Amino acid sequence: MKPWYSTPAKTALEELNANPDTGLTESEVRARYEQYGPNEYAKPEQDGIVKMVLTQFKDLANVILLLAGFLSLALAIREGHGYLEPIVIFAIIVMNIALAVSQERGAEKALEALQSLSNPTCYVLRDGSRVEIETASAVPGDILILRTGDFVAADARIVSSTGLFVDESSLTGESEPAEKSSAPIDEDEAPLGDQTSMVFAGCLVTAGNAIAVITATGMDTEMGRIAGFLNNSQKIQTPLQKRLNRVSRMITIVAIVSAIVLVVVGLRQGEEFWMLMLAAVSLAVAAVPETLQLIVTLSLTHSVRKMVDQHALVRKLPAVETLGNTSIICSDKTGTLTQNRMTVQRLWIPGADPFAAEDPLSDEQARFLERLALASNATIEPVEPGSEDAEEGKPYRIVGDATESAIIRLLIEKGIDLSELRRAWPRIGEVPFSSDRKMMSSIHECPSGGYLVITKGAFDRLPFADDGAEAAAKRTAMHDAFADDALRLIALGSAHVEKLPEDGSFEELERNLTFGGLIGLIDPPRPEAAEAIAVAKRAGIRTIMITGDHAATAGAIAHELGLIGANDKVVTGRELSAMSDETLTENIGDYSVYARVSPEDKIRIVEAWQEHDEVVAMTGDGVNDAPALKAADVGVAMGQAGTEVAKSASDIVLTDDNFATIVAAVKEGRNVFDNIRKTLYFLLVCNMSEIAIILGAQLAGWGIALTPVMLLLINVLGDGIPGLSLAREEGDDRLMCRKPIARDESFFSGGLTKVIVQQALAFAVVGLVAYYLGSFVHLPGGTAPSQEVGQTMAFLVIAFTSILHIFTVRTRRSVFRRTIRDNMTMLYSALAMIALFTLMALIPPFGAIFGILPIGPVDWLVVIVLSVVPTIVAELFKLWDNRCESAAYRRRVVKHDIDDERFCL
């Protein structure tokens, strides 16, 4: 893009064939509209509902269930039996797909929000007349007329201006409105914040007026480039989605291999083909944990509800777990780590030591503050208490420039009445601020006679009277000390005159001023931010500051927050641009603060950390943050100060704009990860054991041990209903004493695979024993053996065993040492399912629907004994594993305060 900011205004007009007096003609407008198109942002294509549904079949587990459903339907048609099994299978498929689509259906509104940033109309010169046009009709070369309160319609080069200030915080990250003028910038690659001769689309004119020539519209503007980043950046899969996909692939492989073995062996044994198909359907149903997606979704939604109470609104469910895995937080400074409100921090008057704003005022200090207020144009306006504009719940708001508002706010805090002060010292004249002068003056009538001239502005521009080298050196040293702390400095001078100039030229009064003092202002850190950063650090999470503000200011805030040490450097956007992507990726760990960066720089930083397999959260509130919010693993926007663009591009919105809320959200995310691990442990033990039972019975020539409908009952009711309560398992503070979960860390790390295998074998053994006894052994006092009796006993044993297993997975410790009071829903749902399955076997008409027969008292005794065996096995293994832990491991647990729940075994 051409550097219009360094091009003289006259040259820019010539190159754009624009006349500042008459503007474009209608024919020129039509030609340029055809060439450049409307002044709008391109919108991305959105997937239709059909495509979203078809995408769900990339999950091989859904494909397996679909094939099982069609096979079951074919068997029902061929054999003439009921259609219960295919109906249930297809219903589960529909439920899973509906859940997935509903999660993804949240429409992306970032670009629509971008569009809403500009006014629907703007004023331009055309054919010599000032006309109001739709913003979309603006074209390059249009002469744009800007006034206070206007949103800039397109990027434009300033031709002339008076006292122009533009709020560019949403684009550059700077907390104060930027002063603008027509003077070109003598710099080759100036960052946006330094392009003072330009105005940019979507930014608000806070003061002054200007004439500018439009240089770019639509996607060619700076906002348009951000829209392009939002449009083109592809959201990578979250760690949760990747882990669940790996689980699906594993289940698919197990199902396919098991089916091949079953069919090959069955054909060699001379089994009927359609009987083998029925066994294959059973195996497919056994392999797929039908309620996994539901339980994972409910775990996430339960956490979402809790996070709403903690002031975090989750827009995309997987972001909950991803935030729990976060190892890097890239945070914007303005409005996120700071309060986005200029505040007087330090003051100094000659003959005294510097004092803090919160210190009590002496008479001389109060007089200094009063004069600062007299020279300010900010006003106090009444509002309804509690309204958005109210000043911290007060029945008023302060309206005016950020610096002057800070002065008035301090005046109120010190109990000084502004209206009374202004009545006592009525203003009769003013010399306004300008970028050339960098100061302003107000002239007041003195109660005792004569006039008081008060001038405030840049220290090096105020014409102070010669009061000696020592006094001059003292105030210069104090100025430098304030500046070293990255404070924004305002100097005050005053003079008393008896008469005013007859020609009304008040500028003549701005000389031989008596030095009154200095104030230092800054956008201060949020009080809770430093503590939140420290907590994140203890949790193994590194906080990075990325801001469009000046390096000195960013560095000072970073030091105060504990982000960097005294000798650490701040990297600027210019230095970043000089680095290749490879160099940045290689050295990314050396930098914690980035200043004066552009939107594309933020994306580069996020992606460089991701190249190191870090899970990156990006926080922000401005339009300039939106591309990085979308590119990060989880984007966190500020809900109060944040723009709609940032919120729409994010995954999570903080409704209280509190950085500390992120820490609470991270803890909740870590708890979600633990609960999903427990869910997988719970479901996979049941599913793997069912596969082993079906294969084992078939290989032994015993027939089909469990029918598809029995497996669905176990998986959906026996596992699913109690399994839902795992979503309510609570974590504790020790969750935040761990290191983050690595991006590539499996759900099965920490020895979970071994425990799943040993428990699945225990399940399979008792299930096969129950099936064999019911099918081939006539127990004294028991029911006559048959395949239906064997299936009933195997069904009851696996169902009861699975339900009891829910208590085993809650903790690495013994089930007898973990209270159930914190999750009574689990106990109630487990008892309800045990009662339901018992009634199926006790009430013949009820059980017959599902192929379940009544059994005798001895059979019931066998079922009960076999059902508790896996729990006893699990308890014995827990006892053995805990006793065999090494002393080094125990010391590590104690040292880092890591709970065994990390392993969720």
Residues forming the active site: 332
What proportions of the chain, in percent to the nearest 5, are helix, strand and coil?
A: 55, 15, 30
- Adjacent-strand bridge partners of 166: 178, 205
Residue 202, sorted as left (phi over 0), alpha (psi -120 to 50) or beta, turns out to be left
Q: How far apart are CA 539 and CA 902, in angstroms?
A: 13
Q: Are 180 and 436 contacting, i.e. CB atoms less than 8 angstroms apart?
A: no
CB-side exposure of 728: number of CA atoms within 13 Å?
15
**Helix, strand or coil, per DSSP, at residue 27:** helix
Terminal Cα-to-Cα distance of the chain (whole angstroms): 58
Token code pair at residue 477: 């040293």
Q: Classify residue 354 by burial, with Cβ atoms within 10 Å: 0-12, 13-18, 19+.
A: middle
Token code pair at residue 905: 């075994």
Token code pair at residue 122: 């703007």
- Adjacent-strand bridge partners of 251: none
CA 38 vs CA 133, 219, 723: distances in Å: 12, 9, 54
Token code pair at residue 771: 């099936």
**Among candidates 619, 622, 643, 644, which has minimal Cα distance to 632?**
619
Token code pair at residue 809: 């997975």
Q: How far apart are CA 661 and CA 314, in angstroms?
A: 12
Q: How far apart are CA 157 and CA 442, in angstroms?
A: 32
Q: What torsion, rounded to 10 degrees, do the Cα atoms 729, 733, 738, 743 define? A: 50
**Among candidates 342, 350, 458, 463, which has minimal Cα distance to 403?**
342
DSSP letter at 715 equals I
DSSP letter at 211 equals E
Residue type, 654: L
CB-side exposure of 730: number of CA atoms within 13 Å?
11
**Among candidates 861, 803, 860, 863, which has minimal Cα distance to 831?**
803
Q: Are 262 and 283 contacting, i.e. CB atoms less than 8 angstroms apart?
A: yes
Residue type, 643: T
Q: How far apart are CA 750 and CA 745, in angstroms?
A: 10
Q: How far apart are CA 213 and CA 199, in angstroms?
A: 10
Q: Are 890 and 801 contacting, i.e. CB atoms less than 8 angstroms apart?
A: no
Token code pair at residue 219: 């996607």
Look-up: residue for tokens 């017959």? 848
- Adjacent-strand bridge partners of 444: 427, 452
DSSP letter at 525 equals B
Q: How far apart are CA 642 and CA 636, in angstroms?
A: 10
Look-up: residue for tokens 């201006």? 161
Look-up: residue for tokens 């005798």? 856
**Helix, strand or coil, per DSSP, at residue 70:** helix
Q: Are 343 and 357 contacting, i.e. CB atoms less than 8 angstroms apart?
A: yes
